[in-house]
Each structure stands twice: as C-alpha cells, then as structure tokens.
C-alpha cells in the first residue's frame, strides 16, 4: 500500500503523496474480505428482462468517495441472503471496511437493482421487482437502516405500470421515472395525457403534489419527484434522470416532440427545476453554443452535485465546432457560463475512435469520468477492451477550467488499470466519480481479473481507483 488511510477525530482522509500512482482496490467483497460468489456491478438487471428500465450503471459513489452502492447476485456478502442469486443492493463503506445488504433479505425471487446514493451518502435508492407487486422505487436511509417505498403516494401509481430509474438528492428527495399506460383519470391538473401509451414529461415535487393517494399500503417516503416521461418505444433507454445534490435541478433525456410540441424526434438532454408541480421551464442542455439542438440522440445525462454542470453522451455532429466521427462522444455543459465542451478527447487532442458512455463529473467540473471503447484516448491501450477514463479539465489546478481549443493543456487518463498501471484483461463499465473527493475516486465494474491480486472468482466485480495513474 503506498497510501495511508487515517481516521482522525472521526473523519476519514486519505493521505497520499503527490508523486504516488493511483491505487485500485476491490469493493465487491464481504466485510470479512471474501470475494463474491456471483457477478457484481454493471447491468445485472438485464438478466431479469427489466434491463430496459435500468440506468445502466449498477454502481454509485458518495461525494466523499467513502460509500459505494452496487448491485450483486453474490449471496456471501450478507448473512441470511438466500434468494437463489436474485439481484440485491449492497453498500460498501470504505472507511469502516464493511459491506451491508441494503435491499431486504428475501427468500423469494425478487430483484433489487439500479442503486444510486445521495452525494452526502445518507440515502440509497434502488429499483424493486417483487412478485405480485408493481415495480417500485425504494429508498434506504443509511443511519437508521430503514426502507420506504418512494412511489406509494404518486398519483396514478395505483394499479399501473410502476416506477423506474431513480436518482436521490442529499435531503432524500428521489427522482424517478413514472411509467404509465392507463388512462389519464388519476392525474392531477398539469399532467398531459398524450392519448396513447404514455404520459408526457411532467415533474412533480413535494408531498403537496400527492393529490391522489395510491391504493397500495406501506410506508411512503413523500418528498419525491416524478418524471413521467414518454418513451418513444418500449425498449428505448428511458429518461435516466439525475438530480443535483440539493434536489433543486433534474437533468434527464426527453423528446422536444413532447416537451415543445415540435417535429424533432431526436432524444435531447433537458434540465428543469423541481420546484413546480406542473409544467415548468424546460432548459435544453444538448445544444450548440449557437442554440441548435443535437442532431443525433443524446443519452446518459448526469448533473453535477452543484447543478452547474451536465454531462452526457451523443453522436451528434453539430454540438461543437470541429470534426465528428459518428461515435458517441462525451459533452460537458456549463449551465452558468452557457458553454459546451467535448471531453472524450486524448491529451493530445485526438477525438475518441469508439463510443463513449456513462459520464459523471465532479462538483467543481474539473474531472469527468466515462467509459469508452476507444483505443486512442491514452497510449498503451492495446488490450482491446472497454475502459474507464478520466478527463482533467484543470490540469494546472488553478481553479479555472481550461479550454484546449484555446491552447490550454488538459489531460486524459485511464483508471481501469491495476495499481501498477496494467490494463484490464477484460472490459470495465459504468463509472461513478466521487463529487468532492481529493484525490479523485472512481468506482466502476469490471470483468477483468488482473486489476487486483487474488481475483479468482471468475465473476464481474466492483472496483475503486483512487488517484490517477
Ligand atoms: Ca441475494
Ligand atoms: Ca481499451
Ligand atoms: Ca486551469
Ligand atoms: Ca472478478
């Protein structure tokens, strides 16, 4: 170990000399250190046939980098977990070295997946598919180890199609997609029924919006935000909502066709405040500095802890000046400065030569983590596998974000590597970057067996990389 972990007056810090290399460790282990006896991490929901409702991440990290939530089919992480390798949600606390099961212990074939954690690490939200129940979103309070059902009191929830794709703010407010295929009768003023299968995009905030109590019993969370979103097709990715740390702003995928009633069927990224129960102002994020909406679909939005930055992926050719190559690239929009930058670029300025997905960004906008199939983002990426990359947008560390198109120096690193810098022998997926941790902390899933010593389970695991290679 070339860095020191120290517990000082109840707080936890990592002391790390500036010259030291980043370190990779495994997160999907039991409290006693046992490796998982089944897959952990990215995209397990696809095994349940519910994959198309999922935020394809499977891993999320608190702002300080201490708490990581992940989904897993392993049954040796928690005593009493004997549900025939159904998917469960686990919380790893790095400072304490503990792994606990967040989803309820069950012996039935239930699926709990798609976990997210609030920036302050106090709340976890996840998806639940339980026999006899409408799919629901649950919230777990870490301090009390209690659970509630987020969407119990959502108008129209009763008897209908359920809720998916959660995000959770530090006050416990949960944002989720409300998938709806019934009539419009249950919806309060402001909901827009499009007459076919889905309700149009509306957000709803606060208990005061809950005008029609659902018929389901159980403890309701209240304080939730719904994105009732029109999916263009049953198997489309969905809104993938993300929320700022204070819960005030949501970003999500939507169609201007439904939001602005135009003819554009390209999926765009939007942001909007959560303060209104009815139609509010939708801010188009995926647009060029001249205001043109993206000319190809945009996916995987993620809003920073502060709400200032939104990152997303798109193969659009008209968002920034310069060449495009048809691959999904990563963009950062600064909502304050009203700028858009492409960050899926090598240190030397080469555009990624493969698709890039699943970006997340630190609170100050400096670091962006994403996964990519590209082989040209760093030198030595020769293994032929999907990797996790981090873009440093303020390489001189002076607090001012830099713009390489103006000659500033920025850098791109690969973090899905071992502590000695070896590339993974299989692919890595779904990164989540800690919003405020220093040095940088990135959690991700990987099939690679060579990122840490002793990985002999033959299953996907969850890892964390601390620092940069
Ligand atoms: Ca289990
Ligand atoms: Ca690679
Ligand atoms: Ca700078
Ligand atoms: Ca493994």
Residue 57 is predicted with a pLDDT of 64
User: Relative to the alpha carbon of 450, which ligand is closest?
Assistant: 4
387, pLDDT greater than 90 = yes
User: Relative to the alpha carbon of 384, which ligand is closest?
Assistant: 2
263: left (phi over 0), alpha (psi -120 to 50) or beta: alpha
User: Relative to the alpha carbon of 398, which ligand is closest?
Assistant: 3
Cα 405 to middle of ligand 4, angstroms: 40
Identify the weakest region by mean pLDDT among 24-38, 53-67, 353-367, 432-446.
53-67
Q: What percent of the chain lies above the pLDDT cut of 70?
A: 72
User: Relative to the alpha carbon of 456, which ligand is closest?
Assistant: 4
Cα 338 to middle of ligand 3, angstroms: 18
Determine how β-strand 367-372 pairs with β-strand 387-392.
antiparallel
325, pLDDT greater than 90 = yes
Cα 399 to middle of ligand 3, angstroms: 6
Cα 46 to middle of ligand 4, angstroms: 19
Determine how β-strand 283-284 pairs with β-strand 267-273.
antiparallel
Chain segment 266-312, per-residue pLDDT in tens: 888 988 776 654 445 678 999 999 999 999 989 889 999 999 999 99
Cα 105 to middle of ligand 4, angstroms: 24
Structure tokens, 163: 């809720």
Quick one: CA torsion of 140, 141, 147, 153, rounded to 10 degrees?
A: -90
53, pLDDT greater than 50 = no
232, pLDDT greater than 50 = no
Cα 118 to middle of ligand 1, angstroms: 23
392, pLDDT greater than 60 = yes
Cα 87 to middle of ligand 1, angstroms: 5
Cα 109 to middle of ligand 1, angstroms: 9
pTM, entire model: 0.86
> Could you give the C-alpha distances from 122 to 139, 165, 170, in angstroms and in order?
10, 19, 7
User: Relative to the alpha carbon of 80, which ligand is closest?
Assistant: 1
Note the residue count of the chain: 469
Which of 219, 213, 201 has the alpha carbon at shortest distance from 150?
Answer: 219
Residue 179 is predicted with a pLDDT of 59
Summary mean pLDDT of the chain: 79
Identify the weakest region by mean pLDDT among 31-45, 89-103, 363-377, 432-446.
31-45
User: Relative to the alpha carbon of 44, which ligand is closest?
Assistant: 1
Cα 3 to middle of ligand 3, angstroms: 26
- Which DSSP symbol is given to 233? S
User: Relative to the alpha carbon of 400, which ligand is closest?
Assistant: 3
Chain segment 328-351, per-residue pLDDT in tens: 999 999 999 999 999 999 999 999
Cα 10 to middle of ligand 3, angstroms: 33
pLDDT category, 260, cuts 50, 70, 90? low
Residue 178 is predicted with a pLDDT of 61
User: Relative to the alpha carbon of 423, which ligand is closest?
Assistant: 2
Which of 14, 22, 84 has the alpha carbon at shortest distance from 48?
Answer: 84
Quick one: CA torsion of 368, 228, 198, 268, rounded to 10 degrees?
A: -30
Cα 236 to middle of ligand 1, angstroms: 28
Identify the weakest region by mean pLDDT among 22-36, 67-81, 376-390.
67-81
pLDDT category, 442, cuts 50, 70, 90? very high
Greater confidence (127 vs 234) lies with: 127
SS3 421: coil
Cα 385 to middle of ligand 2, angstroms: 4
User: Are residues 449 and 426 in contact, defined by beta-carbon separation less than 8 angstroms?
Assistant: yes
Q: What are the beta bridge partners of residue 13?
A: 6
Cα 106 to middle of ligand 1, angstroms: 8
74, pLDDT greater than 80 = yes
215, pLDDT greater than 60 = no
User: Relative to the alpha carbon of 454, which ligand is closest?
Assistant: 4
For the residues 428-445, what does the mean pLDDT come to?
96
Q: Which of 49-58, 103-112, 234-243, 320-329 tops mean pLDDT?
A: 320-329
Cα 464 to middle of ligand 2, angstroms: 17
User: Relative to the alpha carbon of 29, which ligand is closest?
Assistant: 4
Chain segment 119-151, per-residue pLDDT in tens: 999 999 888 877 777 777 788 999 999 887 775
Whether the link from the prior residue into 37 is cis, omega within 30° of 0, is no
Phi, psi of 43 (to 5 degrees): 65, 30
Residue 264 is predicted with a pLDDT of 66
For the residues 205-217, what does the mean pLDDT come to?
30
For the residues 66-74, what does the mean pLDDT come to?
95
Which of 376, 361, 401 has the alpha carbon at shortest distance from 119?
Answer: 361
Cα 428 to middle of ligand 4, angstroms: 11
Residue 270 is predicted with a pLDDT of 86
Which domains, from first to last, does the chain contain?
22-466 (2.130.10.10)
Residue 281 is predicted with a pLDDT of 66
pLDDT category, 262, cuts 50, 70, 90? low
Cα 326 to middle of ligand 2, angstroms: 18
Residue 182 is predicted with a pLDDT of 45
Which of 26, 68, 71 has the alpha carbon at shortest distance from 44?
Answer: 71
Cα 77 to middle of ligand 2, angstroms: 30
Residue 295 is predicted with a pLDDT of 93
> Could you give the C-alpha distances from 285 to 191, 235, 281, 335, 381, in angstroms and in order?
23, 24, 12, 8, 32
pLDDT category, 247, cuts 50, 70, 90? confident
User: Are residues 402 and 412 in contact, defined by beta-carbon separation less than 8 angstroms?
Assistant: no
Cα 220 to middle of ligand 1, angstroms: 24
User: Relative to the alpha carbon of 403, which ligand is closest?
Assistant: 3
Which of 191, 23, 52, 76 has the alpha carbon at shortest distance from 127?
Answer: 52
pLDDT category, 166, cuts 50, 70, 90? confident
Q: What are the beta bridge partners of residue 24?
A: 465
Cα 406 to middle of ligand 3, angstroms: 12
Cα 371 to middle of ligand 2, angstroms: 9
309: left (phi over 0), alpha (psi -120 to 50) or beta: beta
Cα 382 to middle of ligand 2, angstroms: 6
Chain segment 95-128, per-residue pLDDT in tens: 999 999 999 887 677 888 889 999 999 999 888 8
User: Are residues 121 and 193 in contact, defined by beta-carbon separation less than 8 angstroms?
Assistant: no
Cα 245 to middle of ligand 4, angstroms: 32
């Amino acid at each position: 170990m070339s860095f020191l972990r120290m517990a000082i007056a109840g707080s936890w810090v990592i002391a790390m000399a500036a010259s030291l290399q980043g370190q990779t460790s495994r997160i999907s282990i039991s409290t006693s250190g046992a490796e998982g006896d089944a897959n952990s991490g990215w995209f397990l929901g696809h095994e349940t046939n519910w994959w198309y409702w999922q935020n394809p991440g499977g891993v999320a990290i608190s702002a300080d980098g201490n708490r990581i939530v992940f989904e897993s089919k392993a049954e040796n992480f928690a005593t009493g977990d004997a549900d025939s390798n159904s998917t469960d949600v686990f919380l790893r606390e790095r400072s304490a070295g503990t792994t606990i099961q967040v989803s309820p212990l069950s012996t039935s074939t239930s699926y709990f997946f798609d976990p997210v954690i609030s920036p302050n690490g106090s709340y976890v939200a996840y998806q639940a598919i339980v026999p006899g129940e409408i799919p629901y979103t649950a919230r777990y309070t870490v301090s009390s180890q209690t659970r509630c059902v987020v969407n119990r009191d959502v108008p129209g929830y009763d008897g209908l199609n359920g809720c998916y794709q959660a995000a959770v703010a530090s006050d416990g407010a949960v944002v989720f997609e409300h998938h709806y295929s019934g009539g419009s009768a249950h919806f309060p003023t402001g909901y827009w029924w499009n007459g076919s299968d889905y309700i149009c995009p509306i957000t709803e905030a606060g208990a005061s919006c809950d005008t029609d109590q659902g018929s389901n019993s159980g403890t309701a969370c209240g304080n939730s935000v719904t994105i009732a979103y029109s999916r263009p097709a049953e198997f489309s990715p969905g809104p993938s909502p993300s929320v700022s740390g204070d819960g005030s702003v949501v970003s999500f995928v939507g169609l201007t066709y439904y939001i602005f009633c135009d003819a554009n069927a390209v999926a765009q990224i939007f942001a909007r405040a959560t303060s209104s129960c009815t139609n509010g102002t939708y801010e188009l994020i995926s647009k060029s500095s001249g205001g043109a909406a993206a000319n190809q679909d945009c996916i995987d939005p993620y809003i920073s802890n502060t709400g200032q930055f939104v990152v997303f992926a798109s193969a659009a050719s008209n968002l920034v000046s310069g060449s495009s190559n048809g691959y999904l690239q990563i963009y950062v929009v600064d909502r304050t400065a009203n700028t858009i930058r492409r960050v899926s670029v090598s240190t030397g300025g080469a555009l990624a030569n493969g698709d890039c997905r699943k970006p997340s960004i630190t609170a100050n906008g400096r670091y962006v983590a994403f996964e990519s199939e590209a082989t040209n983002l760093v030198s030595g990426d020769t293994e032929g596998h999907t990797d996790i990359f981090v873009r440093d947008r303020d390489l001189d560390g002076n607090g001012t974000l830099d713009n390489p198109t103006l000659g500033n120096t920025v850098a791109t690193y690969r973090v899905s590597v071992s502590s000695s810098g070896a590339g993974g022998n299989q692919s890595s997926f779904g990164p989540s970057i800690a919003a405020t941790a220093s040095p940088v902390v990135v959690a991700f899933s990987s099939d690679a067996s060579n990122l840490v010593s002793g990985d002999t389970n033959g299953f996907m695991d969850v890892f964390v990389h601390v620092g940069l290679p």
